[in-house]
Amino acid sequence: MLKGPIPPHVDPRKLADRAAALEGELQLSGLKRLVDPLEDDKGVVRARFDFGRDEQHTVVIRSELDVEVTMICQRCLEPVVLPIHSECEYAVVNEGANSQHLPKGYDVLEVGEDPLDLLALVEEELLLALPIVPLHDPEICQPPVGPDEPEPSENEVSRSNPFSVLAQLKRDPNV
């Protein structure tokens, strides 16, 4: 296992032949697309990649990513720290190759002759793991108090539902 900084580009086929493992940390601030929806870019991504081959001799990458990100809670509009954990198994295939023969459970990763951009893979995986609506636990926060709804005054004209006529027609058997 290689510990230390995660290299930005790797050749997954060579690493799979050696059954190599990479483990290290990436600065969150270096992942520009990931930090865009976040409140700040402080923190580190703990990453582990295991390269190998399966029974069909397909190159397989198993990734495990952990990071804590700060987003804005959509309930109380205050910052919330969220732990993000992502695990994925990729089957590496040549660009344009048929991936129908692959066993279920693998995400297909098309790689050509150029090295695999490992940082882009980390960024994509974490973007998919972010919550769509970040929230605190319900016990911690409540929605912000909005303006009170005014009580209808006696001078206001009560409006009838325009579809109530249709409901009346539906009930009338003579129509």
pLDDT, tens only, 60-95: 999 999 999 999 988 888 899 999 999 999 988 877
Distance CA 115, CA 23 (A): 18
Position 23 confidence tier, pLDDT thresholds 50, 70, 90 = very high
Distance CA 60, CA 88 (A): 10
Q: Report the pLDDT value the prediction gives residue 157, as an integer from 0 to 100.
A: 57
Token pair for 82? 């969220």
The Cβ of residue 46 has, within 10 Å, a number of other Cβ atoms equal to 16
Q: Report the pLDDT value the prediction gives residue 158, as an integer from 0 to 100.
A: 60
Distance CA 84, CA 156 (A): 52
Q: Are 15 and 59 in contact (CB under 8 A)?
A: no
